[in-house]
Amino acid sequence: MTFFLQQVVNALQWGSFYALIALGYSMVYSVLMLFNFAHGDIFMVGAYMGFFVATGLVTLGAAGVLALPSWLILALTILMAMFLTSLVGMLVERVGYRPLRGAPRASAALTGLMIGIILQTGNLALLGARRQTFPGLIDVTSYKVAGVIVSNKALIIITLSILLTLALHQFVRRTKWGMAMRAMAYDFAVVPLMGVSINTIALLTFGLGSALAAVAGIFFGMAYPVLEPYMGLLVGWKAFVAAILGGRGSVLGAGLAGFLLGFIEIFVAAVFPSTLRDVIAYSIILVILTFRPYGFFGEPYSAQLRL
Amino acid sequence: MLLSVEDLRVSYGGIKALHGIGFRVDEGEIVCIIGANGAGKSTTLRAVSRLVPAEPGSKLTYRGKDLLKYPPDRVVAELGITHVPEGRRLFDNLTVMENLRLACFARRNGPEIQRDLDRVFSIFPRLRERIHQKAGTLSGGEQQMLAIGRAFMSGRQVMLLDEPSMGLAPLLMMDVFKALGEINREGTTILLVEQNARLALRFARRGYVLENGNLVLEGSSEELLNNPDVKKAYLGG
Ligand SMILES: Nc1ncnc2c1ncn2[C@@H]1O[C@H](COP(=O)(O)OP(=O)(O)O)[C@@H](O)[C@H]1O
Ligand SMILES: [Mg+2]
């Protein structure tokens, strides 16, 4: 039982990364009918943004210029990395996707792949091949509850990931911006007739998704403090799987599917040799998708793509 | 003159849909364009609301402003020209209220929005009973009411209506047109395109006849209703 609960905690933390990245993947896919294959690399950019901000703040503190408490450094790191990464995401939309809005889907999908390569190799060119070490932002303390070890770090990661998923869900349900996003997911062509600029909503969608990917990047850096330019590749693909599994148009679906991926991977790894983890985990997911080809909570959308 | 269109040409990937048409709409008028399926009626409205690009040389002027300088969302938000598309195209996944609210996306004045909302519900009381219902669950008539309500909320200086009678039972159709008449009397100019020529010409003051992307006739509704060619081609003899 203790073993089981321990795996649950691990799975929640592991699933947090997938969930946060899947949200952005899912939003872009739902609202703009695009597979933004650069999104895993936006996660990487977010991790680096967090790295720069955190390292900067820690250095300032060490030099005695600006000594901030560690919780404030963490908060500032998250907020500033969210902001900076959302700018990168919006730039990707503006430069990479907007010019291709009327182009065939395949071209847009290619754009994502190319932008991903540009972000990876751009990082490599700018920072070199050296891996960066994410600063330890908070003093890690572990609590033992009923035999299960939970660190304050894991608690922060899990709680904030769940809260951000719920917050995004509320944003999409309740605000007029979210309403415009849902309308676009349903019938793209009619949205301008409501006086809503498609470009603005596209920027918002990319910005929000990128900001959440940045949080995932920082959390990942806190949990596994080694950063490298290709760190977004595999994680990005898996989050993409979660986004599709969650169902088009469903924020909660994407979040839940992200956590589900975490659970499947962790529990498979707990039983089978770790080399077989992804083989078995993704075979399971393939079977799930066969039975639910529209994902868990997919919403219908208009078949008419033009007016 | 409120809206003037000169030499409007539109093609879809090399295939010409409009061959240089011209028409005008004055403030407060109801004008209709009638024509068979495929004549280019919807394309005409799409060009005015800027959903399809007009070819160089086309001139579209609204209150003296060059319409071609405006993207579609600003045509609605800044000029108040709203387009009720063919087949209504509601957001079926949003509620009635959300559909109406989304149409006010660019509007800031809260009390004014509330007043307009009340007006929509007084024109279409059935919508008020269904505000929390998803638009996709409405009947055809209610959907058309919502589509018009949405246009009412989003600008309503000018309403471009694409076949509002389509798929409606005659009685409902009369309701919808009565409501449109009311909206027009309150100051909204209406440009209507219809396959149902008889209905359109009874409702409008003036009309144009569109054939294969060319305007071939224009006149007062009375003239057109009595024109032998119109009678033969559009009014069933
Ligand atoms: N999106 C489109 N792509 C290509 N051709 C189109 C498109 N929309 C309309 N057309 C063509 O343009 C012509 C005019 O169509 P339309 O404006 O829809 O006519 P109407 O509304 O009078 O039935 C038709 O020949 C139609 O096939
Ligand atoms: Mg038509």
Handedness of CA A66, A67, A71, A73 (dihedral sign): positive
- Rounded to the nearest angstrom, the distance between the alpha carbon of B39 and the centre of ligand 1 is 8
Tokens 């490599």, residue? A124
pLDDT of residue A301: 67
Nearest CA of chain B to the CA of A143: how many Å? 45
Count of beta carbons in the 10 Å neighbourhood of residue B73: 23
**Ranges of residues in chain B whose predicted pLDDT is under 70:** 237
Among A192, A300, A301, beta carbon nearest to B51? A192
**Rounded to 5°, angle at Cα B208 from B204 and B209:** 125
> What confidence score (pLDDT) does residue A307 get?
56
Q: What is the pLDDT of residue B135?
A: 96
pLDDT score, position A303: 57
Atom of ligand 1 nearest to the CA of A307: 1
Q: Burial level of B128, CB count in 10 A (0-12/13-18/19+)? A: middle
Contact status of A249 with chain B (Cβ, < 8 Å):
yes
pLDDT given at position A300: 65
Q: State which residue of chain A sits closest to B93, comparing Cα positions.
A: A186
Q: Tell whether A303 is within 8 A of chain B (Cβ).
A: no
**Residue A107 pLDDT:** 87
Domain ranges for chain A, please list them: 2-304
Question: Which residue in A has a C-alpha nearest to residue B91's C-alpha?
Answer: A183
**Strand-pair partners of B82:** B159
Match domain A2-304 to its CATH number in 2.120.10, 1.10.3470, 1.10.287, 2.60.40.
1.10.3470
pLDDT of residue A264: 95
Specify the DSSP class assigned to residue A95. I
Residues with a CB atom less than 6 Å from ligand 1: A 306; B 12, 15, 17, 35, 37-43
Q: Which of B65, B67, B41, B26 is nearest to B204 (CA)?
A: B26
Segments of chain A with pLDDT less than 70: 299-307
Cβ neighbours for B46, distance < 8 A, ≥ 6 positions apart: A307, B10, B52, B83
Nearest residue (CA) to ligand 1, atom 9: B43
